Amino acid sequence: MIAQPMLAVLSSRRDFGDDWIFERKLDGVRVLADYDPDRGVRLESRSGRPLNGTYPELVAALERQTGLAFTVDGEVVALHRGRTDFGLLQQRMGLTNPVAALATGVAVTYYLFDLLALDGHDTTGLPLRDRKTLLRKAIDFHGPLRYTTHRNHGGPELLADACSRGWEGLIAKRADSRYTHGRSDAWLKLKCVGGQEFVIGGFTEPAGSRAGLGALLVGYHEGEDLRYAGKVGTGFDTRTLTSLRHSLDEIRIETSPFADSVEEKRALWVRPVLVAQVGFGEWTRAGRLRHPKFLGLRDDKSPADVVRERPKGRP
């Protein structure tokens, strides 16, 4: 594994001083890239899974760089009419054959936002502003490679503008922060709408003319327990319903994996090994998702790492 990436904390904070910068929150998958003139390029997911076969055009673009060794951090997205489309990106995720990946016709863009090493020197101890300056100078941004721009001032108005553009939100980062491995409150997620990853623990049979399944039963970890968060019945097309049902049938079990009682008469249970990205309005007082919508499966996060994200206010 190249390195455990630095992760942001969900926050309700909206007032910031001049010691913060603000980047667009992208709805894609985290990818770290390492380039060495002798060994070539290695792409990895946040969990350390190799991704060279999934995004061969990114490998090619990174190999065309100046010759200095580097390690960079960024987000791979698929764009539709200028907006990131996680559902579209799903067509590339999980593929390991570069020919099959390119044959999907789904173009991907790699937004780079941080530099972990350059020319054999560890840069993680430098302030963020310095790392971004070095990144912009070190990489030739062309083709699928993009530099993640930032704003030096932000607050409620900047977030409102981001939301009006259909963005997922903003990432607020301390301008002088060092790059640390793991979750840090030096990086804060400011979301426009609710959404996070959930573990799939079961599903219901379809009703009427619907194919595949009725709804997914999802949850999150609280210690050793898998807590039930509700059922997700929208956001699917027929192809997704059929594909999901096939995957779920392969991991069927007899008893519920949830620590809570789940009142679903037609529930079928599965081993909690699949992670779904779910958008939703808010949490209810009973701890259930309101108006959830399936956005896609994630293969870049371990089910054991899925917990309920709780906004952190001003420190």
Residues sharing a CB contact under 8 Å with residue 82, sequence separation 6 or more, in sequence order: none
**Which H/E stretch holds residue 275?**
strand 267-280
Residues labelled as active-site residues: 25
Pick the closest to residue 27 from 76, 80, 74, 73 (CA basis).
76
**C-alpha of 117 from chain center:** 23
Break the chain down into helix, strand, coil percent, rounded to 5.
15, 40, 45
Pick the closest to residue 297 from 230, 226, 247 (CA basis).
247
Pick the closest to residue 95 from 149, 139, 57 (CA basis).
57
CA distance 74 to 110: 7
CB atoms within 10 A of CB 1: 12
